[in-house]
Amino acid sequence: MKKVLILTNSTGQGHNQAAASVEESFKAANYEVKKMDLLAKNTKYINEILVIGYEFLASYFPKTYGLFYSLTDTKLINKILRPFFFFARRKAVTLINEFNPDVIVATHSINISVISPLKKQGLKIPFILIVTDFKAHYLYVDPYVDVYITGSNYTKQSLVDRHINPDKIYPLGIPINSKFYTEVTSVNELKNDGYFNLLLMSGSLGLNTIFLVLKELLKNKHKLRITVVCGKNDNLRNKLTSYCNNNTFENKKLHILGFTKDISYLMDYCDIIISKPGGLTVTESIVKNIPLVIPFAIPGQENENIDFLVGEGYCIHVKHIRNINNVVDNLINNPEELSKMRNKLKELADTYSLTEIVNISNKLISNSKKR
């Protein structure tokens, strides 16, 4: 039985979700799988700085996070970081010797600082890195990565521009839960009741900007069914629930949810998604062929995601929240625009694959054993 070691990190839940998807694909192919967050277990304080620091800055000081993201987008970044992951590399060596994986897959760029020095020292195990956004930060750029999995040809080109061999890059889509591909719920009765269906989200952090967007949407004159997913932000959910219970809104049906695993189902009965453009959320909307409206984003990688999505006609970016109803009204009044966007999303989704990473791994393993 072949073995795969999957490395992840908890700066946002997207990396863990991608790791879970990869795990599912390899298990279906009869691989023995070990999934681990090496940083959480072996560089506790550094990991807390990364995870808590990301969540704090992204939630409360997004512009500062965006500045930090830009300042670290340099060739030197991986060299600067490597000394901080000495203990994680020691643990990785022990883990690799004990588990003896045939291939290593990472869903967070920070794992380059763990695996790349080992590759440089002679580690022969193939190393696959998944880019979980649509433009590659310099954290992803390293000559010892054997294969990159990206979300689009646009992402591939961003790596090529940074001198990565294009033959090493496979635009197969960011890995997401397979149910987004396989589970489709028929909800025609909801879509035929005269209401336009909106799914309002902001990722696992549940950013408070949702409240501002919802207040604007509730002023809309059309019949709207609005489902709001607050993620793990219980304070936000309570605030929205209280606000909606204490006010009356004409022609509005409201559903306020916390963290849920039913996003695939919720997307099936939505006409559009209103969300920040995290890599996993964007990929889920692409696979479901649901147009995305973006009224807010965390500066940094999400702004770069917007550049790709708007440039290709996959989404609509609302630069000022107060203009959200103009966009919604235009889509309601011009259903052909929605149809056009859906068709473009389907064309991209048809290039995606959750299983091809296993085939690529098999080839890498075969080639490594021939050396």
* Nearest alpha carbon to residue 314 among 340, 351, 332: 340
Mean pLDDT of 335-341: 93
pLDDT value at 202 more than 80: no
What span, in angstroms and rounded, lies between the C-alpha atoms of 85 and 93? 12
Q: Give residue limits of the domains in the chain.
A: 3-175+354-370, 179-349
Least confident window among 122-126, 278-282, 295-299, 322-326: 295-299
Mean pLDDT of 286-311: 92
User: What's the pLDDT at 46?
Assistant: 62
Which residues are CB-neighbours of 223 under 8 A, at least 6 positions away?
Answer: 194, 195, 196, 251, 252
Across the chain, mean pLDDT equals: 89
* Nearest alpha carbon to residue 111 among 3, 18, 231: 18
128 near 82, Cβ under 8 Å?
no
The pTM of the full predicted model, rounded to 2 decimals, is 0.89
Mean pLDDT of 130-141: 93
pLDDT value at 205 more than 70: no
Same fold, 3-175+354-370 and 179-349: yes
Q: What is the pLDDT of residues 247-266, one digit of tens each?
A: 889 999 999 998 888 999 99
What span, in angstroms and rounded, lies between the C-alpha atoms of 131 and 18? 10
Please identify, in words, the CATH class of the domain defined by 179-349. Answer: alpha beta
pLDDT band for position 188 (50/70/90)? low
CATH fold of 3-175+354-370 reads Rossmann fold (3.40.50)
User: What's the pLDDT at 51?
Assistant: 62
* Nearest alpha carbon to residue 204 among 131, 258, 168, 269: 258
* Nearest alpha carbon to residue 126 among 365, 371, 366, 369: 365
User: What's the pLDDT at 128?
Assistant: 98
User: What's the pLDDT at 204?
Assistant: 57
Mean pLDDT of 42-68: 69
Q: Which residue has the higher pLDDT, 105 or 52?
A: 105
Residue with tokens 């970081």: 81
What span, in angstroms and rounded, lies between the C-alpha atoms of 158 and 154? 6
User: What's the pLDDT at 85?
Assistant: 81
User: What's the pLDDT at 44?
Assistant: 59
What span, in angstroms and rounded, lies between the C-alpha atoms of 275 and 199? 8
Which residues are CB-neighbours of 17 under 8 A, at least 6 positions away?
Answer: 176, 177, 280
